[in-house]
Amino acid sequence: MEIVVCLKPVPDAETRLRPRADGSRLDPEGVKFVLAGYDESAVEQALLLREAIAGSKVHAVSFGPPRWTEEVLRAAIALGCDTATAVESAGEEAGDPIAAAEGLLGAVEGMPHDLVLLGKQAGDDEEGLVPGALAEMLGMPHFGYVVDLHWDGAAQRLRFGRSAEAGQETWESPLPCVIGLQQAWNDPRTAKLPAILKSRRAPIAKVSPPAPSPERAASVPERFALPPPRTGAKMIAYRTPEEAAQQLVRILKEEAKVFP
Amino acid sequence: MTPNVLIVAEVDSGRLSLPTVEAAGVARSLSGPDGKIVGIAGGAGAAGAAIEFGEYGIERAYAIDDPRLDGAPAQAQTAYIAAAASAVGAHLVLLGGSTAGRDLAGRVAVAWKAAAANGVTELAWAGEALRVQRPVFGGRATEARLLRGGRAVVSLRPHAFPAAAVERTTCAVERAPAASVPPALLAPRRTGVEAVPKGTGPALSDAPIVVSGGRGVRTPENFRLIEELAASLGAAVGASRAVTDAGWRPTSLQVGQTGRSVSPQLYIAVGISGAIQHLVGMMSSRVIVAINNDATASIFRVADYGIVGDLFAIVPALTAEIHRVRGI
Ligand SMILES: Cc1cc2nc3c(=O)[nH]c(=O)nc-3n(C[C@H](O)[C@H](O)[C@H](O)COP(=O)(O)OP(=O)(O)OC[C@H]3O[C@@H](n4cnc5c(N)ncnc54)[C@H](O)[C@@H]3O)c2cc1C
């Protein structure tokens, strides 16, 4: 199976978030962009499927400014992905997931792809638009929020679960298919030091994104704001558990107005 | 400008789902007196669900008449939705904040050549553009974006908006404009659904109130305390990963990075320390209450109200007080 994993460089979890001087978006200055969140699970699942299905390959693709994608792709190689491809952008499309899907499309179309795996949503904007957008461009079916992804070789079908409001659904789909992954079979592995060292010399193929089509509707970042810092909880003083309960119910009713 | 809005129905047991009813409320507040609001429903029970738009003051809806969509994934409706959006001259296609709605938005945006946003908590017209706001970074920041070009596809964050008020009118249901569905989208099949057991309260991601328990509860038997508190509030039950990993409760209840993201009106965390992987799944809840016997637990840093104390004393007292106040 030829598996493509699409990976978004996102700010490291330790990042102190801060808006750019014009206030329109996150200031990327000094921020370390890494492989994180559901994309890590997507890599893990791709590697597990490769181990389970003889003759499979995993191709990592990332869209963004080269200094960000390089970090992510080297991490993917160190974890065991077979090839790495960067789609270079200036980073100004941040905030336009459809533009990101367009960027990924060119790279994905240029390589064999039975299964396209992504995280169900990016670790930063948490938007989850790219899997569906990319699938529509590719003319392939797609599913987000996927868990427990398996390949049934006898039936030539993917089988997976999906957590929906009504309960846990199970689905089957032929290939090719796009999957937005919620959870791999296990927690993402960590790379071993020799593999990390070796990944530094691994080749990264480069692809240019398509020119943006002028008639397409665009999504433009306008403001990035931090909420006023949570001042910490208002602590309820009490002498007995009953008093604590009465106080909390009163607060929920009268102050927070969330009592049913 | 008199904006026209197309609302995509999600049908749940033959009725419009709660996220769809929230979308109907938003459409009504966004569309001026001259703007058109039209619903569209597809799949099994589509015609009946389309009529139900009339309950919320929406006078026109399309029903997709295509038996191939029964049992097919919602994405098979994409081409119909795009055709309907063009037919009504829509400026906005609005989807509810369910799994299916969020999953469909990117697809519909590409098919209809629109800009898109998922999980939106505020939206307003800014001339021809739509200004949307949404939480990012697990609620640590918010972003505002302009969706330009006069075509926007937006899904709402669950519970960020009240359900539409009932305002009965007659909804004229028409057959949706024809569209061609790529056969590839009809091939996937749902093979089963393990329904959330009835009687255990509302579904986690849908519930306006969530009560979650963590390792502090100590045993699977004690978790009953969390369930009783939830029942007293009509709330859904959630859990930290410590609980689901230990097998005390099923993983479908797990809140956090590798579980569900929830954003209820009220989230009560009991015996949960507040690890970042848990916080990202619940931090955008409107009001957060924490009950923990460790005053330094991180959960108190994101909570609005805290009780430092032994959950085995506090929780039963709280459940009893709620029963008393609600008269149940
Ligand atoms: C890749 C990865 C993904 C993860 N994903 C998730 C996720 O999706 N969701 C998730 O929840 N976690 C997740 N985790 C795990 C997370 O890091 C924490 O380990 C977990 O959330 C801890 O659960 P807890 O708060 O219930 O337990 P603990 O951290 O052990 O906290 C128990 C709390 O109970 C309190 N307590 C004990 N006794 C009492 C008492 N009698 N009365 C009141 N309070 C009491 C303690 O003071 C303590 O604060 C993930 C971890 C990793 C590495």
What are the strands, taking DSSP E only, across chain B? 5-8, 11-12, 15-16, 37-41, 60-63, 92-95, 115-120, 122-126, 129-136, 141-147, 152-156, 172-175, 189-195, 209-213, 236-239, 266-270, 287-292, 305-308
Q: Answer yes or no: is pLDDT of A151 > 80.
A: yes
The superfamily in CATH containing domain A2-207 is: HUPs (3.40.50.620)
- Measure the CA–CA gap between B241 and B272, rounded to whole angstroms: 10
Sort out which chain B residues have CB atoms less than 8 A from A125's CB and list them.
Answer: 136, 143
Q: What is the pLDDT of residue B147?
A: 96
A91: which 2 tokens? 């980073």
Q: Answer yes or no: is pLDDT of A87 > 50.
A: yes
Distance from CA of B269 to the nearest CA of A (A): 13
Helix (H) or strand (E) holding A197: helix A193-199
Chain B, residues 157-186, CB within 8 A of chain A, namely 182, 184-185
| pLDDT band per the 50, 70, 90 thresholds, residue B178 | very high
Ligand 1 site, residue B275, Cβ cutoff 6 A = yes
Residue nearest to atom 6 of ligand 1 (CA): B277
Q: What is the pLDDT of residue B201?
A: 63
Cα end-to-end span (Å), chain A: 52
Question: What ipTM, to 2 d.p.?
Answer: 0.90
Chain B, residues 240-279, CB within 8 A of chain A, namely 252, 257-258, 260-261, 265-266, 276
pLDDT in tens, A183-220: 889 889 999 999 999 999 999 999 998 877 777 788 99
Q: What is the pLDDT of residue B203?
A: 75
- Measure the CA–CA gap between B31 and A165, rounded to whole angstroms: 28
- Identical fold, B5-186 and B209-326: yes
Q: What is the pLDDT of residue B200?
A: 55
Question: Strand A157-164 relative to strand A83-88: parallel, antiparallel, unpaired?
Answer: unpaired
Region A234-259: what's the mean pLDDT?
95
Q: Answer yes or no: is pLDDT of B243 > 50.
A: yes
Cis peptide upstream of residue A174 (ω within 30 degrees of 0): no
Region A62-70: what's the mean pLDDT?
94
Name the strands in the sheet holding A167-173, side by side, starting at the edge strand that comes first in the sequence.
A205-207, A83-88, A57-64, A2-7, A115-119, A177-183, A142-152, A157-164, A167-173, B189-195
Region B170-193: what's the mean pLDDT?
94
pLDDT in tens, B45-104: 899 999 999 999 999 999 999 999 988 899 999 999 999 999 999 999 999 988 889 999
Ligand 1 site, residue A243, Cβ cutoff 6 A = no
Neighbour tally for B34: CB within 10 Å: 9
Rounded to two decimals, what is the model's pTM? 0.83
Domain extents in chain B: 5-186, 209-326
Region B6-20: what's the mean pLDDT?
91
Of the candidates A26, A167, A230, the beta carbon closest to that of B196 is on A167
| Distances from the Cα of A132 to the Cα of A105, B74, B100, angstroms | 12, 12, 11
| pLDDT band per the 50, 70, 90 thresholds, residue B196 | low
Ligand 1 site, residue B297, Cβ cutoff 6 A = yes
State the architecture of B209-326 in CATH terms.
3-Layer(aba) Sandwich (3.40)
Residue in chain B lying closest to A242 (CA): B317
Which CATH number fits the domain B5-186, given the four candidates 3.40.640.10, 3.40.718.10, 3.30.420.40, 3.40.50.620? 3.40.50.620
Name the strands in the sheet holding B305-308, side by side, starting at the edge strand that comes first in the sequence.
A234-235, B305-308, B287-292, B266-270, B209-213, B236-239
- Measure the CA–CA gap between B129 and B112, rounded to whole angstroms: 16
Q: Are A192 and A199 in contact (CB under 8 A)?
A: no
- Measure the CA–CA gap between B188 and B194, rounded to whole angstroms: 18
Range in A162-171, B152-161, B295-304 with the lowest mean pLDDT: A162-171
Kindly give the residue spans of alpha helices, DSSP state H, lying in chain B. 18-30, 46-52, 78-87, 99-111, 224-233, 241-245, 276-279, 299-302, 311-326
Ligand 1 site, residue B307, Cβ cutoff 6 A = no
Q: To the nearest whole percent, how much of chain B has pLDDT over 70? A: 98
Domain extents in chain A: 2-207, 228-260
Instruction: List the beta bridge partners of residue B129.
Output: B126
Sort out which chain A residues have CB atoms less than 8 A from B73's CB and list them.
Answer: 141, 143, 171
Residue with tokens 């607060």: A251
pLDDT in tens, A88-142: 987 776 778 999 999 999 999 999 999 999 999 998 988 999 999 999 999 999 9
Sort out which chain A residues have CB atoms less than 8 A from B307's CB and list them.
Answer: 235-236, 238, 244, 248
| pLDDT band per the 50, 70, 90 thresholds, residue B171 | very high
pLDDT in tens, B264-320: 899 999 999 999 889 988 988 889 999 999 999 999 999 999 999 999 999 999 999
Q: What is the pLDDT of residue B199?
A: 47
Nearest to A49 by CA among A85, A24, A81, A19: A81
Q: To the nearest whole percent, how much of chain B has pLDDT over 90? A: 73
Q: What is the distance in A from the centroid of ligand 1 to the CA of A151? A: 33
Ligand 1 site, residue B278, Cβ cutoff 6 A = yes
Of the candidates A133, A139, A235, the beta carbon closest to that of B184 is on A139
Is A18 exposed, middle or buried, given 0-12, 13-18 or 19+ CB atoms closer than 10 A? middle
Q: What is the pLDDT of residue A183?
A: 86
Q: What is the distance in A from the centroid of ligand 1 to the CA of B240? A: 6
Q: What angle do CA A141, B116, A135 make, to 5 degrees?
A: 15
Sort out which chain A residues have CB atoms less than 8 A from B208's CB and list them.
Answer: 260
B78-105 burial string, b = 16+ CB within 10 Å, else e? bbbbbbbbeebebbbbbbbbbbbbbbbb
Three-state DSSP class for residue B52: helix
